[in-house]
Amino acid sequence: MSKLQNERLKKYIEAEEAILSGQSYTIGNRTLTRANLATVERVIQELIAAGATVDGEETSGGSTKRIVLLD
């Protein structure tokens, strides 16, 4: 897995954390969301499935790592 994809995974995880900590806001009776959590989560899973890691380690073609974020 390339360093670029590992960095991209880190950024998507940071985006997910930002969304979960309050990326929505309300003005009057309208609620606005700055980012789409489902899209961010889908890309994270795609990057992990492709072998990206947050620690930058190379993975072999037959293994994957799963990242579970806990609050």
pLDDT tens for each residue of 26-62: 889 998 877 888 999 999 999 999 999 988 655 555 5
- List phi, psi (to 5°) of 25: -150, 160
| SS3 assignment, position 44 | helix
Question: Structural domain tally of the chain?
Answer: 1
pTM of the model: 0.63
Token code pair at residue 34: 């700055």
- Which domain, by its residues, includes 54? 1-71
Separation CA 69–CA 71 (nearest Å): 7
